[in-house]
A and B are shown apart, each in its own frame.
Chain A
Amino acid sequence: MNDTIITTIDRAAMALGGGLVLLGVVGLGIVEVLAGPPYGAAPTTNDAGEVVATPMVDANLRVFLVVAGLVVLLAWQVYRMAGTAGGEDTTQRVEMTAD
């Protein structure tokens, strides 16, 4: 079987898992840059420590999307592992003449 991508489930998991990760990091990152400062994911504070500007998209939401994407990819691999026929002995045995 190797790791050939065959089924619709494989393709769906790849699209959903990778899509969530990219949405959290890149997709909403573009939104964040276009929305103006702060360009990082953390709020901007002044010298007194007061928040003077917050990101348009909550960093926790972006992180949640990334974690969700990784969970999808992990679940997919567990699914693949469960679906893999294991335990079948493919070992070749060769009779040897004893001395």
Chain B
Amino acid sequence: MATNTANPLADEFAFDIGGPVATYWVALLRVITGWYFFHAGVTKIIESGFNYAGATGYLQGMTGTALGPLPVWMANNLAWLVKPGVPLFETLIGLGIMFGALTRLAAFGGAIFMTLFWVGNGGYGHGLVTGDFQTLLIFVTLAALAAGRYYGLDAVIERTTLVERHPKLKYLLG
């Protein structure tokens, strides 16, 4: 006699990705992550307007990092974009993630920011996996899970005529 042994909990306690618990938690994670960026951006706007000088200083401080001369070049040549862009994009990315609107586009932007933070803040004293890297992974995860569809506006946006006519736009939604 042979027996086929299965996990007795598999049918009882599954956290499959389509389940309500998973979607609930992804939505909660999305709002908190969005708040993190929105708070960072909107407080810069309040304090510095759209001329955040700290951005170029931060990039110039990244000389000698794994990104090579790129951050310094950005600080020297793209200051016109970086100074207003950091507070503006942080705010917009935060709003997009929080409300689940254009989630994948926003998460992509967040991942770019977090890459710069991960590299720029990195002392790596406790290893490569830092808090910034974890946040970078959260942005990628939100994009991969299409998190904007869970209690988010992307579920509504994707039913608009524009998106139905141009289905490739769904890659920008979540």
Contact = CB atoms under 8 A, between A and B. Distances in A.
Interface in A44-96: 80-81, 84-96
A2 interface: yes
A7 interface: no
Interface residues of A, number: 30
A86 B8 contact: yes
Nearest to A18: B28
Contact of A4 (B3, B20, B47): B20
Interface in A18-47: 18, 21-22, 25-26, 29, 33, 37, 39
B2 A4 contact: no
Interface residues of B, number: 29
Contacts of B16: 2-3
Contacts, number: 73
B3 A3 contact: no
A61 B147 CA distance: 29
Given A3-B14, A26-B31, A95 B1 contact: yes
Interface stretch (B38-46, B57-65, B67-75, B105-113): B38-46
29 contacts: A1-B11, A1-B12, A3-B14, A3-B22, A4-B19, A4-B20, A5-B21, A21-B32, A25-B35, A26-B31, A26-B35, A33-B39, A84-B9, A84-B12, A85-B12, A86-B9, A89-B8, A90-B6, A90-B8, A90-B11, A91-B3, A91-B4, A91-B6, A92-B4, A93-B1, A93-B3, A93-B4, A94-B4, A96-B2
